[in-house]
Structure 1
Amino acid sequence: MKKILASLGALCFSVISFAQQYTFETVTDLESTPVISQGITGTCWSFSTSSFLESEIMRITGKQIDISEMYNVRNTYPEKAWNYVMRQGNARFSQGGLSHDVINSIRKYGIVPQSVYTGLEEGQEKHNHIEMVSVLEGMLNVYVENPAKTLSSNWKKAVEGVLDVYLGKRIKEFTYEGKSYTPESFLEMTKIQPEDYVSVTSFTHKPFYSDFILNIPDNFSNGSYYNLPLDEFIAVIDHALENGYTLALDCDVSEPTFSQKDGVAVIPENETDTRTILKDIKQEKSISPEYRQQEFENYHTTDDHLMHIVGKVKDQEGHVYYKVKNSWGTDKIRVGESGGYINMSVPYMRLKAISVMLHKDGLSKAVRKN
């Protein structure tokens, strides 16, 4: 019996010794603002892209400015409503959106700081848009049904009224650090030029080195993406980070191996490693363009969530991961010890990244030429 116990003990020690828990070392860590929470909303697109623009402002001007995410949301809902009503309900009306919707918002309405537009009702501490969206959707469906047989333009005023009640009226003028601004002049002060930002993707169903409208549910505004081969798509991310440019990321987070609590997102080679790979380093799957396309077309890869790529790390075996800032807050009950950041492996990025947005100067000369 003692020999058996000794053998079992040796076996357990061997297994424990073989398993390597993640230890990460920083490779690149670019400036970004603190992690915050999007609350009970589907507005990750504004939180991630606003975070991205905050890093851009720091890169360009050296100033740290907390941008109002909800100002972008407030300005985008009327556009969504117009799309839904004019398509007579044959479109999607939801809380979702994409990075270019924020760019469209600031191009048209400028930027305001969080201190002057919180999007919160008096006494409210966190965002919750469930009721507001239900009210808007109910109204819009009435307008689509058009019971009066002639659609009045008053429906647009009604939408604006609901948004004013739940989020607040648009800001026309405000004071920031002792100076008076309009949203447009504040945008000018930040040095952000909306036309400088490009969206890049990689799918084989469209020609490479050309633009196309990506058919995903949240692309209500028909945003255009530049299409690259998969290796070059990843190279765009690497080149940007290596040269001081962060990126806004649209990706799938529905995989069981995407874990905010564990702070990792990985793609195991073997499905039997699905649980253990969140704690210990395991072999990951090699992701080909064909497999990426297959997983996109069979709905295994979907447009779930937007975040902000702010750097790179590597584990003790030398595997590289992208440091991704999330918008689920820092509450340890929800995000564990990750602090609101996720280390996303290269295979995960190759398979699950729908697209990235970055400043055009963050592209290599070869890509810019193409």
Structure 2
Amino acid sequence: MHTLKMRPLLLASALFMGMGSGFAQDYLVNSLSSNQSKNSKDAFKFTEVINIENTPVKNQGSSGTCWSYSANSFIESEMIRMGKEPVAISQIFTARNAYVEKGKNYVRMHGAVTLGDGGALHDVINMYRKYGAVPQDIYTGLNYGTANNKFGEMGDLMKGVLEGVVKNGNGQLTPAWEKAYTGVIDTYLGTVPESFTYKGKKYTPITFAKDVIGINPDDYVEISSFTDYPMYSKFTLLVPDNWSFDQVYNVKLAELTDVIDNALKKGYSVAWAGDVSEKGFSWKNGMAYVPTKNFAEMTPAEKEDMFVGPRDEPTITDAMRQAAFDNYQTTDDHGMHIVGLAKDQNGKEYYIVKNSWGATNDYKGYLYMSKNFIKYKTTAILLNKNGIPSGISKKLNI
């Protein structure tokens, strides 16, 4: 998930979801964290309303794979909800398979589609369906001498191979290019095991997904809200990292949070994709909200105190949301995992969101995101269809 924006923090926000550019994650996190306030945590008093069990916070390293980390975290919580012992799923196994499929699409489209690390939440479900899954310790994706993901060099080589294929000095494709392209990926990430042993039993990736993880890919849908498509229909989400051209359901703006609320109340967590480049997002402080005043118009004191205690927010309208998407102010920068609901000392509700940048902020890897921020900055959510309110389900014909 990435789209370039013509404004500050352009690279920091865009590269997380998608560009295999070699920028280190610590640089990106520090850039995003530059907008922060002192003593922010002390100024908020949160009371948990819902906290859905989830697995430990992970770190995506220097890779644009948050889509895989967030949606696999979501699947791990689905296992817990179903009464299963959760497995630490290999996010890079998912990403590796998506890169293979993305490469095929790139060649079919004569190079007119996005490359890079980026992806979408549905890619995790699609790869699970086609390739299965493996435990993290079976496929770490660290086959190149580092302790954490570092995809820049690999990404450049992948791009070079595919661009050479599309340019095609032979005048027609040979059967060898797919092997050459996959060979680059597997050299860096490791060869996928045909079978492996887990708790004394032998599995393939497909049988492991079926017999141990046990989710049904058909149970999961993506939802968004835009005014330029008919309500309660499906449409192709036009963001660069929707390389597979998957479709999402369209609901009214207020229904977007209604869906999330209903899912959480019924014990379903929600995977989230959206924009984190706004000045109202602070990773260090673990807060995301929509300021009432434009950052450029704030006084230095107002900027310094942006995250010191609850703040008012504007009413988010359909027109505001649509305009922000149309003018590149809202892009698919990042993916995270909504695992709960909380209230501040004034009774205002926030979603509890799990990130994949390590336990490096004030809330040890989690943040509090206002409902207005969700309405304004979401590009799509992924959830179990049984978490959707029945009235909306009926309208969507799910």
State the TM-score, normalized to the length of structure 2.
Answer: 0.85
Q: Flag the structure with larger Rg.
A: 1
Q: Residues 88, 194 of structure 1: CA spacing in aligned structure 2 closer, same or farther, 3 A cutoff?
A: same
Q: Which of 323, 347, 354 is equivalent to 1:325? A: 354
Cα offset, 1:84, TM superposition: 1.1
* Whole-Å separation in 2 of the counterparts to 1:88 and 1:100: 23
Maintained 8 Å contact 2:286/2:367: yes
In the alignment, what sits opposite 2:390?
365
Q: How many residues end up aligned between the 2 structures?
A: 347
* 1:149 counterpart SS class: coil
Residue 348 of structure 1 is aligned with which of 352, 370, 373? 373
Shift of 1:122: 6.1
Alignment partner of 1:297 is 2:304: no
Distance 2:310 2:249 in 1: 34
- SS of the residue 1:354 aligns to: strand
Partner SS for 1:90: coil
With CA pairs under 8 Å and 6+ residues apart, which has the higher RCO, 1 or 2?
2
Q: Give the letter aligned to residue 114 of structure 1.
A: Q
Task: Describe the superposition over 1:235-260 as per-residue Cα deviations: whole angstroms up to 9, x where unpaired.
Answer: 00000001100010001000122111
CA distance in 2, matches of 1:56, 1:277: 35
Asked if residue 338 in structure 1 is aligned to residue 363 in structure 2, the reply is: yes
Q: Are 2:82 and 1:53 equivalent residues in the alignment?
A: no
Determine if contact 1:49/1:248 at 8 Å carries over to the other structure.
yes
Correspondence for 1:7: none
RMSD over aligned CA atoms reads 1.2
Tell me which of 293, 306, 309 is aligned to 1:277: 306
Look up the match of 1:239.
262
C-alpha displacement of 1:171:
2.0
C-alpha contact 1:266 1:277 (8 A) present in aligned 2: no
1:170 aligns with 2:170: no
Q: Confirm or deny that 1:118 pairs with 2:135.
A: no
Residue of structure 1 in register with 2:57 after alignment = 35
Partner of 1:61: helix, strand, or coil? coil
Query: Secondary structure at 2:43's aligned position in 1?
Result: coil
> Does the aligned pair in 2 maintain the 1:248–1:307 contact within 8 Å?
yes
2:235 maps to 1:212? yes
> Aligned with 2:82: secondary structure?
helix
Counterpart-to-counterpart distance in 2, 1:207 and 1:275: 42
Q: Which amino acid aligns with 1:118?
A: T
Residue 275 of structure 1 deviates from its aligned partner by 4.0
Task: Give 1:182 deviation, angstroms.
Answer: 1.2
Percent sequence identity over aligned pairs: 44
Q: Which runs of 5+ in 1 are unaligned?
A: 1-19
Deviation track 1:63-100 (CA, whole Å, cap 9, x = no partner) reads: 12100001101111111111111111111111100011
- Cα distance in structure 2, aligned partners of 1:274 and 1:242: 35
TM-fit CA distance, 1:213? 0.6
Opposite residue 216 of structure 2, the aligned amino acid is Q
Q: Which residue identity is paired with 1:68?
A: S
Deviations 1:91-130 (A, max 9, x none): 1111100011111101011111111111112642101000
1:267 aligns with 290
Q: Aligned partners of 1:279, 1:257: CA distance in 2, in Å?
A: 12
| 2:202 is the counterpart of 1:180 | yes
Q: Which among 192, 199, 202 is matched to residue 222 of structure 2?
A: 199
- Decide whether the 8 Å contact of 2:330 with 2:377 is kept in 1: yes
Deviation at 1:219, TM superposition (A): 0.2
Letter in 2 for 1:176: Y
User: Which SS does the other structure have where 2:116 is aligned?
Assistant: coil
Q: CA deviation at 1:270?
A: 2.0
The Cα of 1:62 is off from its aligned counterpart by 2.8
TM-score by length of 1: 0.92
